[in-house]
């Protein structure tokens, strides 16, 4: 938030790489992103943040601890699945996978594929998770932290600007198959946004950021 605005947030990190009070989300995110069991919360004033940091995370987990009346985000639905992608470069070598939200058990992993992007990987992961659920007869929710990939699934089209090359031809074949499946199938599974700021890192994250 720009300097001088009154509605600043202060982030308390009780458990992370470093603990303390941080005045911006990027600073706080660096302490908790990918950190297993991270404990953190946003507050609306320095005084609230100091009082909270002197206490315990459990005391604030279910409370409206911010003066802005930030609504407590309920925990992710379970049973469910989470998907994520990792790309080294843009475009670059791409992998994507699906895990059980509760157990972190890997359901599938694909790649590496040459000359891909994170959005393409997130899209393919979502569609393949939907396909896998249909084969198993599961109507479980599927979470992704990619707004673009969720929108592409709803549109039944991967609206990528990635250029097709001989090296990424297999990826484009997978995209075409995923789009065709979406156009020809219905699915009961809710496709939902993973709330990283409230829940911590997506369980399917590759931990390479």
| Half-sphere exposure in the Cβ direction for 72 (13 Å, CA) | 9
**pLDDT tens, residue by residue, 52-89:** 898 888 777 655 443 333 335 678 899 999 999 999 98
**pLDDT tens, residue by residue, 17-51:** 899 999 888 888 888 887 777 888 888 888 888 98
Average pLDDT over residues 120-134: 98
Q: Say what the pLDDT of residue 69 is.
A: 36
Q: How confident is the model at residue 209 (pLDDT cuts 50, 70, 90)?
A: low
| Half-sphere exposure in the Cβ direction for 200 (13 Å, CA) | 18
Dist. CA 199–CA 36, nearest whole Å: 11
79 contacts: CB under 8 Å, gap ≥ 6: 100, 101, 102, 140
Q: Say what the pLDDT of residue 199 is.
A: 85
Residue 125 token pair: 């992961």
Residue 6 token pair: 């009154």
Check if the beta carbon of residue 96 is closer than 8 Å to that of residue 110.
Answer: yes
Please state the separation of Cα 142 from the chain's center in Å.
11
Dist. CA 137–CA 44, nearest whole Å: 44
Least confident of 54-63, 136-145, 179-188: 54-63
């Amino acid at each position: 938030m720009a300097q001088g605005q009154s509605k600043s947030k202060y982030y308390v990190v009780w458990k992370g790489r470093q603990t303390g009070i941080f005045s911006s989300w990027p600073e706080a995110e660096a302490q908790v992103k990918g950190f297993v069991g991270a404990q953190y919360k946003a507050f609306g004033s320095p005084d609230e943040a100091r009082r909270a940091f002197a206490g315990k995370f459990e005391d604030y987990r279910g409370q409206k601890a911010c003066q802005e009346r930030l609504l407590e985000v309920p925990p992710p639905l379970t049973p469910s699945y989470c998907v994520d992608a990792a790309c080294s470069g843009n475009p670059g070598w791409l992998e994507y996978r699906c895990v059980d939200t509760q157990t972190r058990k890997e359901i599938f992993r694909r790649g590496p594929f040459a000359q891909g992007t994170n959005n393409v990987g997130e899209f393919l992961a979502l569609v393949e998770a939907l396909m896998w659920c249909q084969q198993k007869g599961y109507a479980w929710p599927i979470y992704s932290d990619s707004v673009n990939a969720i929108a592409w699934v709803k549109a039944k089209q991967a609206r990528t600007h990635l250029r097709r090359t001989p090296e990424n031809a297999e990826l484009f074949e997978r995209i075409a198959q995923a789009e065709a499946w979406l156009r020809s199938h219905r699915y009961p599974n809710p496709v939902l946004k993973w709330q990283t700021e409230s829940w911590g890192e997506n369980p399917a994250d590759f931990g390479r950021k």
